[in-house]
Amino acid sequence: MSIKTAAIIGAGVAGLTAALSLARHGIRTEIVEQAPQLGEVGAGLQISPNASRILAQLGALDEIERHWAEPDEIRLASGVTLKPLAAVPTGELARKRWGAPYGVLHRSTLQQSLLAKVLHNPLCSLHLGCRVELPDRTEIERLIGLQPDLIVGADGVWSSVRKLIKDSPKVSFSGNIAWRFTTAAAEAPRFLDPVNVTAYLGPNSHLVAYPLKEIDGFNIVAIAAGIDPGETWSADGNAGQRALLLRQFSGWNGEICKLLASIEQATFWPLYEASSGRWQNGRDTVLIGDAAHAMMPFSAQGAAMAIEDAFELAGEVAGTLPLPEALSHFETARKARATRVRHRGSFNKFVYHAGGPVRFGRDLVLSLRSPQSLAGDLDWLYGYRARG
């Protein structure tokens, strides 16, 4: 083993998964989080088999499965007519084909399940309310009271640890924002599917809806062009921004427009993308999750990529290679994986937001694809087995 201790900056999904993954190899971790307590951030998320397999290995999946829902399918439908276009089977097929389940849940369910495992692990220590103002070793060592062998930047899009790495990625606003809100099942319009994930596709925008068992309702995300509110995880939409949202969906099905117009409480978050750049400093510091490769959510892989990063990083640094070589190997392997996922997301954006003649061609092609062939297209993504 090349290291004995690690400081992890950030206690989100990436940071907590990294702590459990490192502890699995006997490595002590000190987790530094600026928030005074870990509460709800975001709303629903999707956990695909490539990530749920890792959660099972970390002993966290059983608790999560008690709260999540497993859709039978991931459906694509027209946002104009509500007509079904295609479907990828999940449910039992996911367990059989990819060896792990596909579930939807509230982000806080995942975070609290990981947190409970961390708090009960003697090798993990959590420091809340500790902000890394000046990202350097001296500041980090002061906060945790020891000199770590490894510093892990799991602090998201606006990472401070990124500043410790020369030529690290830069982040920029994509021009798109994601509106998110929930609605109770009793108040939901009838077109919302109470079992499956459905992506409604339309010109220059799309909307994703799926059930959340924890709230007996639905999670709804609408992605379209918007104005950058600055460095924030979420912002409340003012009247002007809501009006812009309704204009962007004005040509959609009337039921969807009515749903968006009825929103009483909705927040949005700006979608940032990371450029290419170095993820590690060649010595003792590395980035994971959005800090390294923030990308558009068109493949629903944000949480999954963070979980994969954390698990594979632990496997690399717990091996026999010297730490600098282990970090270099991690960076090379994970960059290739993240790049492929990013390309898939770009393809999905083109397909989801198509308009005019391209939209008609898309609908025709999708209608000719069988569910099994669509599932086969995702074998490389959902069937991936991270090495930890």
Q: List, as one string, the DSSP characters of 240-256.
A: HHHHHHHHHTTTS-HHH
Question: Would you state the pLDDT for residue 69?
Answer: 95
- Coil vs helix vs strand at 47: strand
Q: What are phi and psi of 7, to 5 degrees?
A: -105, 125
- Coil vs helix vs strand at 180: strand
Q: What is the mean pLDDT of each run of 10 residues along the chain (388 residues)?
A: 90 97 97 79 86 97 95 96 95 97 95 95 93 78 90 94 95 90 91 96 92 93 78 59 82 92 79 95 97 94 97 96 97 98 92 85 88 95 95
Surface-to-core class of residue 55, CB atoms within 10 Å of its CB (0-12 exposed, 13-18 middle, 19+ buried): buried
> Distances from the Cα of 131 to the Cαs of 75, 223, 239, 326, in angstroms?
42, 31, 33, 28
Question: Would you state the pLDDT for residue 103?
Answer: 98
Helix 302-317 / helix 323-352 crossing angle, nearest 10 deg:
160
| Cβ count within 10 A of residue 353 | 20
> Which candidate in 200, 210, 272, 352 is catalytic?
210
Active site residue 102: no
Any idea which residue has 């982000």 for tokens? 107
In the DSSP assignment, the letter for residue 2 is -
- Coil vs helix vs strand at 269: strand
How far, in Å, CA of 210 to CA of 150, rounded? Answer: 39
Whether the CB-CB separation of 68 and 105 falls below 8 Å is answered with yes
Any idea which residue has 């993954």 for tokens? 21
Any idea which residue has 């892990």 for tokens? 152
Token pair for 119: 């708090």
Whether the CB-CB separation of 17 and 307 falls below 8 Å is answered with yes
Token pair for 38: 């870990």
Sign (positive/negative) of CA torsion 17, 22, 25, 30? negative
| Cβ count within 10 A of residue 341 | 23
Question: Would you state the pLDDT for residue 10?
Answer: 95
Q: Which helix (H) or strand (E) holds 192?
A: none
| Cβ count within 10 A of residue 328 | 17
Whether the CB-CB separation of 69 and 80 falls below 8 Å is answered with no
Q: Which helix (H) or strand (E) holds 39?
A: none
Question: Would you state the pLDDT for residue 41?
Answer: 59
How far, in Å, CA of 76 to CA of 84, rounded? Answer: 6
Whether the CB-CB separation of 156 and 290 falls below 8 Å is answered with yes
Q: Which residues, 6+ apart, have CB-to-CB distance to 315 below 8 Å? A: 21, 25, 386, 387, 388
Whether the CB-CB separation of 118 and 16 falls below 8 Å is answered with yes
